[in-house]
């Protein structure tokens, strides 16, 4: 009898801690890294019955005290890697990473090739210009002299 | 020689990007191979016949091959899909009819939470077996991208009819009749 009472007391003392696992992940933090797998958009912008179901699953896992990474791992284990909003680092999904890098490198290479040419093309054109400007013809020089003579400064 | 290399590199890069875009679009197209074959009356072999999936009740694994020699109504469904709810009683009646002749309705859940699927089965009192295709090992082989979808297989594992959408009594009765006769 005494043992049974002790057992009940022990269970009551442990129950609150056991029942209410401390959340270790925020719902919003997980939601934007998971895809709605029927609508093909991230869960945080999805509006469908399946999206609501996925949100309920995430809330349940958070309530169980799982971390963000554990929740993501659990979802991947059940539905596969496509459930994650971040691109995979294998297969065709790799294009998401290497295409922007390739484009930036190609643009840099293009600039590296074209910039010296452009500068070379501008330099001779500038060199042709005389510092004092174009030389005046005799008639223009005479007219200039006459015009200046009218301004008595 | 150096001058002509730049436009070539830019053109190759542009072509590569366009090719990537085209591949991305083409790779996502809907597979309607089965639809056209069934439409022509060719009775295509059911794909993924040996794909073994975990049963919804957790009792083991099952595949279409488990029902070899029987008429099978393969139905992709999910608990979040309203048309699946509408057709569930129709499929359950078909199951009762098929069970008498050794056939079965074979449910496959598609992108669904297992506990919600089990609630759905309890709620609609479904007696036919269902398996979970969480990793999409079977559904893509049938070109399934939306729910519900139903494929009626004859005793030799050939598709005699398919419905991409909710089924009704008339469709199922006709399809099962054809499957039993073929």
pTM of the model: 0.71
Mean pLDDT rounded to a whole number for chain B: 91
Q: What is the mean pLDDT of residues B142-154?
A: 95
Task: Please tell me the predicted confidence (pLDDT) of residue B1.
Answer: 46
pLDDT digits (tens, 9 = 90+) for B116-135: 999 999 999 999 999 999 99
- Evaluate whether B105 touches B94 at the Cβ level (below 8 Å): yes
- Residue B139 pLDDT > 60, yes or no? yes
Give the model's confidence band at B74: pLDDT under 50 very low, under 70 low, under 90 confident, else very high: very high
Share of chain B above pLDDT 90, in %: 79
Measured between CB atoms, which of B13, B27, B135 is closest to A106?
B13
Which one has a higher pLDDT value, B32 or A64? A64
CA distance B70 to chain A (A): 30
**Closest to B126 measured CA to CA, from B101, B99, B147, B107:** B107
Which one has a higher pLDDT value, A145 or B78? B78
Give the model's confidence band at A10: pLDDT under 50 very low, under 70 low, under 90 confident, else very high: low
Give the model's confidence band at B28: pLDDT under 50 very low, under 70 low, under 90 confident, else very high: low
pLDDT digits (tens, 9 = 90+) for A108-142: 888 888 888 888 887 765 555 555 667 788 888 89
Which residues of A fall within a CB distance of 8 Å from B5?
Answer: 113
A:B CB pairs within 8 Å: 45
pLDDT digits (tens, 9 = 90+) for A11-63: 545 554 444 567 889 999 999 999 999 998 999 999 999 999 999 999 999 99
- Evaluate whether B92 touches B170 at the Cβ level (below 8 Å): no
- When mean pLDDT is compared over A11-20, A21-30, B24-33, B102-111, the highest value belongs to B102-111
Which residues of B fall within a CB distance of 8 Å from A50?
Answer: 78, 80, 111-112
Task: Please tell me the predicted confidence (pLDDT) of residue B21.
Answer: 80
Task: Please tell me the predicted confidence (pLDDT) of residue B120.
Answer: 98
Give the neighbor-by-neighbor strand order of the sheet with B104-109. B130-132, B104-109, B72-77, B149-153, B159-164
Task: Please tell me the predicted confidence (pLDDT) of residue A17.
Answer: 46
Residue A123's alpha-carbon distances to A7, A118, A120, in angstroms, are: 94, 9, 5
Task: Please tell me the predicted confidence (pLDDT) of residue A116.
Answer: 85
Task: Please tell me the predicted confidence (pLDDT) of residue B85.
Answer: 97
Which residues of B fall within a CB distance of 8 Å from A109?
Answer: 9
Predicted ipTM of the assembly: 0.77
Give the model's confidence band at A97: pLDDT under 50 very low, under 70 low, under 90 confident, else very high: confident
Test B82 with A50 for CB contact under 8 angstroms: no
Task: Please tell me the predicted confidence (pLDDT) of residue B4.
Answer: 61
The CA angle B84-B88-B91, to the nearest 5 degrees, is 120
pLDDT digits (tens, 9 = 90+) for A61-81: 999 999 999 999 999 999 998
Handedness of CA A46, A49, A51, A56 (dihedral sign): positive
Q: What is the mean pLDDT of residues B87-105?
A: 95
Determine the residue among A79, A96, A107, A116 to mutate to test chain B binding: the one whose Cβ has the most chain B Cβ atoms within 10 Å.
Answer: A79
């Amino acid at each position: 009898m005494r043992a049974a009472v002790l057992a009940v007391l022990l269970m009551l003392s442990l129950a609150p801690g056991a029942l209410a696992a401390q959340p270790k992940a925020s719902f919003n933090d997980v939601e934007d890294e998971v895809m709605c797998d029927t609508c093909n958009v991230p869960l945080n912008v999805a509006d469908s019955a399946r999206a609501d179901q996925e949100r309920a699953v995430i809330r349940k896992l958070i309530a169980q005290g799982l971390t963000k990474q554990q929740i993501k791992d659990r979802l991947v284990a059940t539905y596969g890697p496509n459930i994650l909003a971040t691109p995979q680092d294998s297969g065709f999904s790799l294009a998401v990473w290497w295409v922007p890098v390739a484009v930036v490198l190609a643009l840099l290479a293009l600039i590296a090739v074209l910039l010296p040419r452009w500068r070379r093309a501008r330099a001779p054109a500038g060199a042709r210009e005389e510092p004092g400007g174009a030389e005046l013809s005799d008639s223009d020089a005479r007219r200039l002299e006459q015009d200046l003579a009218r301004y008595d400064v | 020689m150096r001058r002509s290399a730049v436009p070539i590199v830019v053109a190759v890069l542009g072509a590569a990007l366009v090719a990537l875009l085209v591949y991305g679009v083409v790779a996502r197209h809907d597979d309607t191979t089965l639809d056209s074959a069934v439409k022509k009356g060719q009775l295509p072999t059911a794909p993924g016949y040996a794909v073994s999936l975990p049963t919804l009740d957790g009792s083991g694994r099952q595949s279409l091959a488990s029902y070899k020699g029987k008429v099978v109504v393969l139905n992709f469904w999910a608990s979040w899909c309203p048309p699946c709810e509408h057709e569930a009683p129709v499929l359950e009646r078909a199951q009762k009819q098929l069970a008498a002749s050794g056939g079965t309705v074979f449910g496959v859940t598609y992108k669904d939470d297992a506990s919600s699927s089990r609630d759905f089965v309890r709620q609609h009192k479904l007696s036919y077996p269902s398996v979970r295709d969480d990793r999409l090992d079977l559904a893509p082989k049938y070109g399934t991208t939306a729910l519900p979808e139903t494929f009626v297989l004859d005793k030799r594992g050939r598709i005699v009819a398919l419905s991409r959408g909710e089924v009704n009594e008339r469709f199922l009765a006709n399809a099962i009749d054809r499957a039993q006769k073929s």
